[in-house]
Amino acid sequence: MMNNQSSGQVSLQSSDPADPPKIDLNFLDHPYDVRTTIEALRKCAELLLESRVIPTDPRLALGPQSLSDEAILVRCLFQIRAFPGLNVVGTDKILGLHSRQSHPSLARGWNCEDGQRSDRRDMCDARL
């Protein structure tokens, strides 16, 4: 997401300098980010529905049950197996589940290397 309004932080995980930093992306904390994400995912779902291409990813093949905000968040932001039998509920409830269950890979949008600690091009060194 470009121009996101949520703000994360990088902090020390412990006093041991060998420990990697603690990175909290705070993804989807701001209402603008929620709205932008829903609109982008809705557009993707609409394009897939109009397309003659058969998706190979089962999450895309199943798609949201409808194009409501809640259905899009349930189907597109979560791994399907993470919430078996989850019915469409209020957006606040879904976002609460998302904040506890999401994985940072959902929010990758960095312009710098994100490699191994031994990689000299890695964005975080001993001095952060």
Residue 57 lies in a domain: yes
- Give the chain's domain count: 1
Structural domain of residue 70, as residue ranges?
Answer: 9-82
Collapsing DSSP to helix, strand or coil, 75 comes out as helix
Whether pTM > 0.75 for this model: the answer is no
Residue 101 lies in a domain: no
Task: Show pLDDT as tens, one digit a residue, over the chain (128 residues).
Answer: 678 788 888 889 899 988 888 887 777 778 888 888 888 877 877 776 666 655 555 445 555 567 777 777 666 565 434 444 444 344 555 555 544 444 444 444 445 555 555 655 566 655 55
Instruction: Give the closest residue to 128 by CA, choosing from 22, 7, 4.
Output: 22
94, two tokens:
């879904």
Residue 54 lies in a domain: yes
Instruction: Give the closest residue to 5 by CA, choosing from 24, 42, 31, 44.
Output: 31
How far is the C-alpha of 71 from the C-alpha of 67, rounded, in Å?
Answer: 6
